[in-house]
Structure formats: C-alpha cells, structure tokens
Amino acid sequence: MTINYELYKVFYWAAKTNSLTQAAKMLHLTQPSVSHSIKQLEDRFGLTLFYRSSKGVTLTSEGAVLFSYIEQSQTLLTLAEEKMAALKNLDSGELRIGGSDSLFKHYLQPYLEEFHRHHPGIRLHLKHGTTPEIIAFLKEGSIDMGVVRLPIVDPQLKVRENIQLQDGFVAGTRYAELKGKRLSLDQLLQYPIILFSRNSRARTGITELFQSYGYAIKPEIEVGSVELLIEFARNGLGISYITREFVAKELEEGSLFEIELDVDIPPSQVGILTMRHVPLSTCASQFIETME
C-alpha cells in the first residue's frame, strides 16, 4: 500500500484541533479539501474515523487507535527536523578522522581544539593507523576523512594537499661532537640509527632516498612512536630520523640538535583524504575549511 503522507497530516491536525476548519487553516487548505482527505482515509480503511457534529469532529475509537500511531510519527518527524537543523548548525553530530598518532598530536591537535571550542556539541572520533589502514577505513566508511603523508594515488580518493613537513636526523648531547658538522651519508651510517617502523611513510621515504645514493639504511633500533624516537635520541641511544616540526621544543631548548647532511632531504607533504564520490558531512566540511 502506497503511503500518502499528506492524508495523514490532514488527519493529524483535524484530530488535534477537533475541527476541519482549524485543520484547513493550519495546513493552508480549503475545508472541502480537508473533508475530502478524511473521506479518502476512511474509504481506504473501510472505517469511520470521526464523529461529525455542529461543534466540530471527534475521533471514533478506531480513529483514536490511528491517531496514537500518527502522533508518534509526527513527534519523530519533528525531532528529525530539529536534528537536521542541529546538524546544519553544527550543534550536534560526529567528526570521524583517521591519522597517525604523531599527526594527531603534533599537527591536528590545535585544529581539533579550536573546532571543539566553537562546536562543543560535535563528538570527535579519532582513529589511528598507518596510511594503508587509513585508506581502508575511508573506503569502508568508518571515517569521514584521513590525514596522511603524500603522495597517494587512488582514483577513488580526493586528495587535498595541506602542509609541508621537513624530516631530518637529530641527536642528543652524547653526540655533541657532531654539532655544526656536515656529514656524508657514509659518515652518518657509522652511528646507530633509530627509525620508525617499516609501515610508516617517513620510513619508506628515507629508505628510498638512501637507495637513490647507493646506500642501505639499517637501523639499530626500530620504534613504533614519535615519543620513543625523541626519547631514545635524547638519551643517547642513537640518531633518530624524525620530523623537525615534531621536535621543535627539544631543538629550541637544546636537548636535541639537528644533524647536517651533505645531501638534501626533500620535504614531505601532508594531505587530507576523502572519498571522491561521497558527500562530506557538514561538520567534516567545516573542519577541512578550518585547516585550509
């Protein structure tokens, strides 16, 4: 049975006001149109829904049963409209972002804090993972956007380039004799190297760079977090390869210093990934605007 929602709307307001005339005014219809709609419903069910009198209309017992259901649906529709308005105005909703722990902490955190201050009703759901995992999360629909290191080439994804990060090697006071010196790659490899795990984009990039010069970079220590890269370098366990922007504080206070090389390490680009043919939610669109 095809549902004619307009008929139920007429029925609802006639029952609510006990008047076909008032229902017509509420719905900007003529009274004959209201009467005709009620008659259509009664004919459809084969039941009388209203008692009619000179004072207006009153629900029959059958009409009262129908009204109990229609009233619930009207309440749900009203709530739905209010919810849509809240989503549009960013009073409620959820923002789902995928990224690495280091990008969340050292790059996204200020944007997230600002967004939360302006839109405290939006729930933040952060899902960490490697770049391949972030892409999988996007395609399965469990996140709205991903923030990763580029390049990414995938026809299903829309890539927005955002900022540049500069990676480099840093050391603590144990290797103070290297401060201010320019090292060759061969000289650098005489020292213990600390690298991020094999899954990271930064690890792939530095491995390919060394290979382009005919060297294989083999770390003494591999770690799974930026915090350990910082801590191990500061404690003298080796020379860490890390994003300069992530150790700005340590470089400024002098607990770490940057190793100068005789080759340039190209900057890496951070990008925002979204599904190309999937519309963004209002809050995801607003958050991307704050980052651009």
pLDDT in tens, 35-60: 999 999 999 999 999 999 988 999 99
Tokens describing residue 61? 């017992």
Question: φ and ψ at 154, to 5 degrees?
Answer: -155, 120
User: Which sequence spans correspond to the domains of the chain?
Assistant: 5-88, 93-158+276-291, 167-266
What is the Cα 48 distance to its own chain's centre?
52
pLDDT at 111: 93
User: Distance between CA atoms of 270 and 118, rounded to whole angstroms?
Assistant: 25
Q: What are phi and psi of 91, to 5 degrees?
A: -85, -20
Which of the four CATH numbers 2.40.10.220, 3.40.109.10, 3.30.70.2170, 3.40.190.10 does domain 167-266 have? Answer: 3.40.190.10
Phi, psi of 247 (to 5 degrees): -120, 25
Residues 88-112: what's their mean pLDDT? 89
- Each residue of 174-185: pLDDT tens digit? 999 999 999 999
245 and 270 in contact (C-beta within 8 Å)? no
Helix (H/G/I), strand (E/B), else coil: 131: helix
Q: Residue 103: how many CA atoms within 13 Å on its side-chain side?
A: 28
Q: How confident is the model over 225-278, as pLDDT tens digits?
A: 899 999 999 999 999 999 999 999 999 999 999 999 999 999 999 999 999 988
Peptide bond connecting 151 to the previous residue in cis, omega within 30 degrees of 0: yes
Match 């984009």 to its residue by tokens.
201
Phi-psi region of 56 (alpha: psi -120 to 50; beta: other; left: phi over 0): left
Residue 255 · residue 169 · CB < 8 Å? no
> Under CATH, which architecture does the 5-88 domain have?
Orthogonal Bundle (1.10)
pLDDT tens digits for range 189-233? 999 999 988 777 888 889 999 999 999 999 999 998 899 999 999
- Distance from CA of residue 137 to its chain's centroid? 11
121-171 pLDDT per residue, tens: 999 999 998 888 999 999 999 999 999 999 899 999 999 998 899 999 999
Distance CA 289, CA 49 (A): 53
Residues 198, 222 contacting (CB under 8 angstroms): yes
For the beta sheet containing 239-243, the strands, ordered from the edge strand earlier in sequence to the opposite edge, are: 221-223, 193-196, 239-243, 167-171, 257-258
147 Cβ partners below 8 Å, 6+ apart?
Answer: 97, 98, 99, 103, 107, 108, 134, 162, 270, 271, 272, 273
Q: Tell me what pLDDT residue 211 has.
A: 96
pLDDT of 1 reads 59
Rg of the chain over CA atoms, in angstroms?
32
Q: Do 167-266 and 93-158+276-291 have the same topology in CATH?
A: yes
Percent residues over pLDDT 70 in the chain = 100
Chain segment 54-99, per-residue pLDDT in tens: 889 999 999 999 999 999 988 888 778 877 777 787 888 899 999 9
SS3 100: coil
Q: Residue 253: which of 230, 224, 272 has the closest Cα?
A: 230
CATH class, domain 93-158+276-291, is: alpha beta
Burial class (CB in 10 A: 0-12, 13-18, 19+), 265: middle
| pLDDT reported for residue 93 | 85
- State how far the Cα of 259 lies from the Cα of 26, in Å rounded to an integer: 76
Please tell me the pTM assigned to this model: 0.67
